[in-house]
Amino acid sequence: MSSKTLIASLSCAILFLGLALYLVPSTLPLVAPVRAATRTISLAASYATYPYWNGSSPGPTITVTEGDTVDIMLSSDGSQHQLLVDFDADGASTSGCATADKCSSLFMSSTSISFTANTVGTFHYYCTLHPTFMVGQFVVQSAGTDFGITSNPSAVSILQGSNANSTITVSSINNFAGTITLSASSSPPGPMTTFSTNPVVVSSGSTATSKLTISILQSTSPGPYSITVTGTNGSASGTHSTIISVSVVSPSSPDFTINSSPTSLTVAQDSSGTVSMTLTSVNSFSGTVTLSAAVSPSGPQPSLNPSSVTLTSGGSASSTLTVSTAASTSGYYSTPVAVSNGNYTVSVTASSGTLSHSTPVSLTIGSTSSNPTGTPSLPLLPIAGGVIAVIAVIGTALFLRSRKH
């Protein structure tokens, strides 16, 4: 083979190799991309004003890729802390660092921790000394399809006897598509949770949401709670979770309540009935409470005795509501009008300054309880006046007649 032929052959081979490399689809790379990198994260711990990571509770979500080297730079406001990355998902512990977990030393100023993220999933990091509020997500992403889960808001404050909502968002990662089943648990137990949609269906490249309602009973103790919401796919994607910090608080302003016993009353016509009204101090309320009552529709006559009560801090007081169904008159000479049978509502209102509370009492009017004897159907005074006038006229006529004779 001549040198010219060899050069021509090599040129053709290089040309075809270049063309082949150009035509290979970008979705099928000849060499797998290198994903490992070094991630440097800074976390500032504080406790003097409130337990925070980087000024928030929960702390910021840390997201890395499988195989990354993670360097976490830690600082403190002077109080003692310890960082734990909970890779075995058994929660924070002050008894030591489990084999799978990554822990820093105790620190009051600054320190650091470095490790390689080899386990794919959504985990949590804690301060082992203040785990309820000093918590955050640590996400290790896979190169394959997966899903993520977040909550908004991730921290709520709820009054006893009230509820609050948080939107749970499930996101597709690397074209994941599938059904995610949601569950929620509280630590310590107390808050109750319900999802508006469960499970949720996530399409490739999109998101799905469900509203989580957190309900607090009046009997739930005030204090901090952590609610962990977990999404499960059942495939290789496994499970991921997000944490919502809940602060249960009692009403801060002094107040009072009013209740009736019984809450309904049946009274006959031309009779009366009574109901006991009880007022109770809430949150150390003390002061004078004025009572009033109104009936709808009008007819029965309500009265309260006493019409005002004095509450002491943490105490209670009572008043008696009397409802009369006696026939009423609109004037001195008018015929009494009976109260109609039927259903009525008595609204009793208790007021003190800007505070005002009402409670309803259901009232039913029945038939006349008795038929009193000796009761005239017309007023006695007009009748007596008429009789006296007739006697005077007859007497005058007889007197005039006797004088004629």
pLDDT in tens, 49-65: 778 898 888 888 898 88
Q: According to the per-residue pLDDT averaged within each range, which of 186-190, 245-249, 252-256 is highest?
A: 186-190
- What sign does the CA torsion over 45, 49, 51, 53 have? negative
Mean pLDDT, residues 163-192: 92
| pLDDT for res 296 | 86
Is the CATH number of domain 255-370 3.40.50.80?
A: no
The domains of the chain are located at 34-142, 144-250, 255-370
Quote the CA–CA distance of 62 and 153 in Å, as a whole number.
17
Please give the model's pTM, rounded to 2 decimal places: 0.41
Quote the CA–CA distance of 403 and 216 in Å, as a whole number.
100
Topology adopted by domain 144-250 = Immunoglobulin-like (2.60.40)
Domains 34-142 and 144-250 share a fold: yes
- Within 251-379, residue ranges assigned H as helices are none
Quote the CA–CA distance of 302 and 291 in Å, as a whole number.
12
> Which range has the worst mean pLDDT, 25-34, 162-171, 188-197, 232-241?
25-34
Residue 387 has pLDDT above 70, yes or no: no
Confidence band for 15, pLDDT divided at 50, 70 and 90: very low
Radius of gyration of the chain (CA): 41
Q: What is the DSSP letter of 241?
A: E
Mean pLDDT, residues 294-315: 93
Please state, as a whole number, how many other Cβ atoms lie within 10 Å of the Cβ of residue 110.
11
> Which range has the worst mean pLDDT, 209-223, 355-369, 384-398?
384-398
Is the CATH number of domain 34-142 2.60.40.420?
A: yes
Q: Phi-psi category of 308—alpha, beta or left, where left has phi over 0 and alpha has psi -120 to 50?
A: beta
| pLDDT for res 205 | 87
Q: Which residue has the higher pLDDT, 105 or 177?
A: 105
Residue 398 has pLDDT above 90, yes or no: no
At residue 383, the 3 state secondary structure works out as: helix
Tokens of residue 363, six digits: 């009232």
